[in-house]
């Protein structure tokens, strides 16, 4: 059975949290292990570290402040985040970035929090896991300043245009692809783009419990997306790319291990 790493699981503060043990077990039964748990604010990041400690080698996490929560960014937030990032379970700074679609936090504060977290990732020489929605121009302008000093940069849940994809690849970003690509209504453009993502730059994720792949048959009874569905997403993407599904899965696994430096963590 191929091995997979789900690089973005919203385990905390979501519909998955009450079923953590069974979620992890079901995923591992499909070869999906470890899971990367997303920290979307500093409190949640601390909770993510705690749950990772309960499931060593099965869960790792990020520590960051999502743009939705940027209004909570304070003078001492960078110091708190740096302390969280010292935990061995933390494999990336993030989720951070810009979201001009929902504007849950004022845009100037989103930019301030994003810049601070990129600077921290540079200081700690840790990879960064990022979010961008309807904010491409500001996002890439800020990122260009920091990219040369970053050890690694991942835009998760990429759903942008061909021009945006090329701009991100030119900046040597990794791109995370979700089950959005399986949506015949919204995912058609992404389906056309995934064959053009370089082999060493593509990562796969569920972003569960969101973005349940619409093309799954039989359709899951629950609308919750789960990490155990990652092999379906991987196979779907491999087919779009004209690649052998097992070889594509192995490549994504190795890309994830290298990006998150999991060899170091497992050692």
Q: Which domain holds residue 126?
A: 4-266
Q: In the chain, how many domains are there?
A: 1
Q: Is the pLDDT of residue 267 over 50?
A: no
Is residue 95 marked as binding? yes
**pLDDT on residue 28:** 98
Q: Is the pLDDT of residue 85 over 90?
A: yes
* CA–CA distance, 8 with 81 (Å, rounded to integer): 19
Which tokens sit at 145? 């300043």
Three-class HEC string of 21-86: HHHHHHHHHCCEEEEEECCCCHHHHHHHHHHHHHCCCCEEEEECCCHHHHHHCCCCHHHHHHHHCC
Q: What is the pLDDT of residues 233-247, one digit of tens each?
A: 999 999 999 999 999
Report the CATH number that the domain containing residue 60 is assigned in CATH.
3.20.20.140
Q: What is the pLDDT of residues 184-220, one digit of tens each?
A: 888 999 999 999 999 999 999 999 999 999 999 999 9
In order, the DSSP letters of 209-248 are: TS---TT-SSPPSSS---GGGHHHHHHHHHHHHT--HHHH
- Is-contact 127 121, C-beta < 8 A? yes
Which tokens sit at 228? 């155990």
Is residue 170 marked as binding? no
Is residue 131 marked as binding? yes
Q: What is the pTM of this model?
A: 0.96
Q: What is the pLDDT of residues 1-42, one digit of tens each?
A: 899 999 999 999 898 998 999 999 999 999 999 999 999 999
């Amino acid at each position: 059975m191929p091995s997979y790493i789900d690089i973005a699981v919203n385990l905390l503060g979501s519909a998955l949290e009450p079923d953590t043990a069974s979620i992890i077990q079901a995923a591992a039964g499909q070869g999906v292990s470890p899971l990367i748990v997303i920290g979307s604010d500093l409190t949640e990041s601390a909770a993510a570290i705690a749950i990772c400690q309960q499931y060593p080698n099965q869960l790792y996490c990020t520590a960051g402040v999502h743009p939705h929560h940027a209004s909570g960014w304070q003078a001492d937030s960078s110091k708190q985040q740096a302390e969280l990032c010292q935990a061995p379970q933390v494999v990336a700074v993030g989720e951070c970035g810009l979201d001009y679609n929902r504007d849950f936090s004022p845009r100037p504060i989103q930019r301030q929090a994003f810049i601070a977290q990129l600077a921290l990732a540079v200081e700690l020489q840790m990879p960064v896991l990022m979010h961008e929605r309807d904010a491409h121009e500001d996002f890439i302008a800020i990122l260009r300043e920091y990219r040369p000093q970053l050890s690694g940069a991942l835009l998760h849940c990429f759903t942008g245009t061909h021009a945006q994809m090329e701009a991100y690849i030119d900046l040597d970003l990794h791109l995370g692809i979700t089950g959005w690509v399986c949506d015949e209504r919204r995912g058609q453009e992404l389906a056309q783009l995934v064959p053009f993502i370089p082999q060493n730059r593509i990562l796969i994720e569920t972003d569960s419990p969101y973005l349940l792949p619409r093309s799954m048959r039989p359709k899951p009874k629950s609308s919750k997306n789960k990490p155990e569905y990652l092999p379906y997403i991987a196979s779907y993407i491999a087919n779009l790319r004209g690649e052998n599904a097992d070889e594509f899965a192995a490549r994504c696994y190795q890309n994830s291990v290298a990006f998150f430096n999991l060899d170091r963590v497992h050692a």
